[in-house]
Amino acid sequence: MSADPQIDLIMSDLRRAASAGTTGDASERAPGVLVDAGTQAGVERFRPSQAPLAVAIDGPGLFALAAGSQTVYSRLGDFRIAENGFLVDSSGRAALGFSRLAGTTGQVVAPIQVPGSQGHFDSYRIDADGTLVGIEHRMQRRRGRVERDVPIAQIAIALFPAPHMLARVDDTTLVATAAAGTPSLGLAQQNGRGSLRAHVVAAGAVDLQADLRKLWMARRMREVELALASASDACMRTALGLVR
């Protein structure tokens, strides 16, 4: 087997490290097994973001997103409030969560939507526990300008028994598989789920050391193949010369 296709695959996986929210291959495991993106933690796992609602999970968990009738999963929390009031990622998929508005039970998982319209609040933030908060600025005669925080919903965080067995749709999007197990949707900071960090996004989850080891080995194999091919060619030329 030529080493060239293997080198291409390794280089493709290494390039994933340069993009936010990507999930690489677990190079030293069986084909199709992913880096365990559901348990990444630590400062080096984040990249600064200027987006006001960008968040990253610090610890286990994945964001659950509504992609049409399908639920997909991602570590990339590049969220914003769309014109229709939904909390969506850069691909326009609505984040799933639990309502925290007055008069709701908050037990049903559904796409998060700001009531009314996008202009209902002056600004928004996402807290460490995943709560999307709408901020109203009001003028009072005695106190001047005051802020009022309105909890809207809490972002759902998914846990899988075997997140490394999820299937990749693209570099940042994963789907459930039988091997990954049944996901459990809950709240950040609860039952083993990580907390959310604001104004950052997840860095690419790639096993750089394993990829570099495999790349070195693949290139050495290619060098051996070329040396053997060159030696075989030289022997053939010598044999042809002797026949003449």
Instruction: Tell me, yes or no, if the pTM score tops 0.85.
Output: no
pLDDT tens digits for range 153-194: 999 999 999 998 999 898 889 999 999 999 999 999 999 999
Q: State how far the Cα of 134 lies from the Cα of 115, in Å rounded to an integer.
A: 10
Domain borders along the chain are 47-204
pLDDT at 7: 59
In 3-state terms the chain splits into helix, strand, coil percentages (rounded to 5) of: 25, 35, 40
pLDDT at 217: 56
pLDDT at 2: 44
147 pLDDT more than 60: yes
What is the DSSP pairing of strand 94-99 with strand 109-111?
A: antiparallel
Average pLDDT over residues 111-137: 86
pLDDT tens digits for range 205-224: 765 555 555 554 555 566 55
pLDDT at 1: 41
pLDDT at 216: 47
Burial class, 213, CB count within 10 angstroms (exposed 0-12 / middle 13-18 / buried 19+): middle
pLDDT tens digits for range 5-58: 665 665 555 555 556 777 777 756 666 677 765 555 555 688 899 899 999 999
The DSSP code for 203 is P
